[in-house]
Chains A and B, each alone.
Chain A
C-alpha cells in the first residue's frame, strides 16, 4: 500500500479568502470618526472655531449611527463597554462616549459662558475631549492591527496610517468649512498645514505598501488586490492620485503663486475626503485570510 500523499505540501493549500464581514458601513464609520475627531482637534487647538467643533461632533455621531446600523442587535450597544480589558472596540466605544460627553459640555460652557467663576473649566473639558478624540482616531487602526487572522491588517503601520489620515481628513473638512466661512489668510495657513500632512500620509501609505509587497502570501495577495486587482481603481486612482498627489500639487501651486486659494481649498478638500474614505475601504477590503495551511 502506498503512503498517503503529503497533504501539507503547497499543492494542497486551500486558497485565500477575502474578508467579507467589514465593508462599506465600517469604512464609513472609520472615516467619519477619524474626520470628526481630527476636525475637533483642529477647531479646538489650532483656531478655536465653534462651527468646526459642532460639525466634528455631528460627524462622530454619524459614525456611531453607521456602526449601529450594522450591528445585529443595536439595542445592546451599551454592552460594547464591557470588555475594556482586551477589546479595542470596547475601548474605542468608550473613547467616543467620552469624546461626545466632554466635547458637548466644553462647547456649552464656552459658548454660553456658563462658568464665569471657573474660566479654565471649558479648557479642561476640551482637553478631555481632545484626548478621547486622539484615542478615537487611533482605535480603528488598533482594532485591525490586533487581528492576527488577517496579516495585512496585523501591522503597526495600520494604526499610524489611520492616525495620519484622521488628521488629514479632519484638516480637509476644515478647508471645506473655511471655504464657506473663513478668511483667505485662515485658508492659507490651513492649506500650509496640508503641505506637511499630505507628504506624511504619502510616506506612511508607501511604507505600508512596501511592507505589504514584501509580506507573506496573504499580505502579497492584499497588495495585488490594491495595485492590480479589484481595488486597483479605487486605491491607485482615488486614494493615491486624487487623494494625495493631486491635492499636493494643487496646494503647492496655490501657495507658491498665491492665487486660487479658495478654489484650491474646495477642490483639495473634496479630493482628500474622498481619498480618506476610500483608503479605509481599500484597507478593509484588502484584508485576506491566508490558506488554512
Chain B
C-alpha cells in the first residue's frame, strides 16, 4: 500500500500556468473547470511589489471531507495508493462534496458545453465523453497515467520542477526526503483533513 502525494516548492513557482494548461489538455476538462488552478496575489506597492503564486489541486486527503459528505458513496479512496476519485455513475449532483472541501477542489459540471458555447467541436466532443453532466468533478492525480507508471501531467510539465510526486509512505522517495529535509506546511490544517499535498515555503 502506498500513499501517493505531492510536494510543491513555492520558491520555484513562477506562475506560468503550465500545470493548469497541461491538466486541462491531459484531462480535457470542460470549460470553466480547472483541476489545477494557480492562485496569485500581489503584495506590497511599487517598487517593493511582489507576486505570490499558489498552485493548487485536489489534496487527496487522508481523511477526505468530501467522501464523508457524499450521500451516495460516489467518492472513494483507492486502497492501493490513496487517490480520491469520484464515481460519476453514482454521483447524484448534491454538491455536498463541493461545500465540504476546504480547498475548493471539487467542481460541478452542470451541462455539456464547449469553449464556443452550445457549439461543440469534434475534439471537445471526444474529451467531454468522460464527463457526466450534473455530477461533481475533481483532480484524479492523473490516475490513468499513474496506473501506467507515469507521473501526473502537471508534474511532468512544470518547467521549474516545483511539483514533486511520489509515495509519502516510502521513506526513500524524493517527496519523503524533501519533507524530512525542509519545513513543509499543509493548507487549512484546521480542517483536519491530513492532505497528501504539502508546500515548501
**Are A72 and B99 in contact, with the CB atoms below 8 A?**
no
Q: Tell me, rounded to whole Å, the shortest Cβ–Cβ distance linking B104 to chain A.
A: 7
Name the interface residues of B151-171: CB closer than 8 Å to any CB of A.
none
**Are A72 and B72 in contact, with the CB atoms below 8 A?**
no
**Are B185 and A12 in contact, with the CB atoms below 8 A?**
no
Count, A-B residue pairs, CB within 8 A: 135
B41, B56, B192 — which one has the most chain A CB atoms within 10 A of its CB?
A: B41
- Residues in B neighbouring A12, C-beta threshold 8 A: 41, 43, 52
Band of interface residues on B: 35 or more
* Number of A interface residues in the complex (CB < 8 A): 44
CA gap between A70 and B185 in the complex, in Å:
37
Nearest chain-B residue to A67 (Cβ)? Answer: B94
- Interface segment, one of A253-261, A267-275, A285-293: A285-293
Question: For the complex, would chain B's binding face be called helix, strand, loop or mixed by DSSP majority?
Answer: loop
A90: contacting residue among B43, B71, B185, CB under 8 A: B71
**Are B191 and A149 in contact, with the CB atoms below 8 A?**
yes
CA gap between A82 and B191 in the complex, in Å:
25
CA gap between A4 and B133 in the complex, in Å:
43
A80: contacting residue among B56, B71, B95, B191, CB under 8 A: B71
CA gap between A15 and B90 in the complex, in Å:
34
Cβ of B98 under 8 Å from chain A: yes
**Are A14 and B93 in contact, with the CB atoms below 8 A?**
no
Q: Tell me, rounded to whole Å, the shortest Cβ–Cβ distance linking B142 to chain A.
A: 22
Q: Tell me, rounded to whole Å, the shortest Cβ–Cβ distance linking B63 to chain A.
A: 10
Name the interface residues of A1-24: CB closer than 8 Å to any CB of B.
4-8, 11-15, 17, 19, 21-22
**Are A93 and B92 in contact, with the CB atoms below 8 A?**
no
**Are A72 and B102 in contact, with the CB atoms below 8 A?**
no
CA gap between A6 and B193 in the complex, in Å:
24
**Are B95 and A21 in contact, with the CB atoms below 8 A?**
yes
CA gap between A83 and B98 in the complex, in Å:
17
Q: What residues of chain A have their CB less than 8 Å away from a CB belonging to chain B?
A: 4-8, 11-15, 17, 19, 21-22, 70-74, 76-77, 79-83, 86-87, 89-90, 93, 143, 146-151, 216, 287, 289-290, 292-293
Q: What residues of chain B have their CB less than 8 Å away from a CB belonging to chain A?
A: 10-11, 39, 41, 43-44, 50, 52, 54, 56, 65, 67-74, 90-96, 98-104, 108-110, 132-136, 185, 187-188, 190-193, 199, 201
In the complex, besides A72-B92, A89-B71, A149-B191, 6 extra interface pairs with C-beta distance below 8 angstroms are A7-B52, A13-B41, A77-B92, A79-B71, A292-B39, A292-B187
